[in-house]
Amino acid sequence: MEAAAQVSSVVPLTRPVKDQAGALAYQNDQLVVMYAERYEVPIERAQALFQAVKQFLVLCATMAEPCSPTPEIDEMWHWFILNTRAYREYCQRYFGYFIDHLPTGGQEHVRDRSGRMMRHLAVKLFGPLDATIWGRGGEFSCGVFCGDTCDACAGVKAADCGCHPGCPRSVL
């Protein structure tokens, strides 16, 4: 619950996360193995993607704005949703409600802004992220909040500095 309070100072909450630690610790080995076999990825990669999905869902549960995952997180999220019983039980147990998947088809500006915000908040809440899953640089940088360069980073291009808390030019 403490982490939800940390995010709440940045973005309006819809509701607090019921059990954030449990949501992040949740394991579903069968789902991960099936994903790894289906998409022919190493089991370690499938596990990392599943962890990212759980982080993403924690963020979705706390945010009042639409949430947009990266393509890889979205793919694993779809895989989790297709395992409907496990997904429904996971949402109910750890969040207290079902987190719907609401595609933003055709709304690039919404998806882009939300994706950058998601990465920004994920870094604040979870620390360093796997850039191969969450993106980096121009794709999911703090640039959307700070502009082309960031004074807090001594003039470094925002796309090169990554996300950082306390940027004086942030709109979050």
The pLDDT of residue 104 is 62
> Predicted confidence band at 106 (pLDDT cuts at 50, 70, 90)?
low
> Predicted confidence band at 14 (pLDDT cuts at 50, 70, 90)?
low
Residue 13: strand, helix, or coil:
strand
The CA-atom distances, in angstroms, between 1 and each of 20, 95, 112 are 7, 11, 28
Q: Considering the entire predicted model, what is its pTM?
A: 0.70
Asked if 73 and 100 count as a contact pair (C-beta separation under 8 A), the reply is no
pLDDT, tens digit (0-9, with 9 covering 90-100), for 26-35: 999 999 999 9
Q: What is the mean pLDDT of residues 152-165?
A: 43
Q: What is the mean pLDDT of residues 53-73?
A: 84
Structure token digits, residue 113: 């802004």
Asked if 75 and 41 count as a contact pair (C-beta separation under 8 A), the reply is no
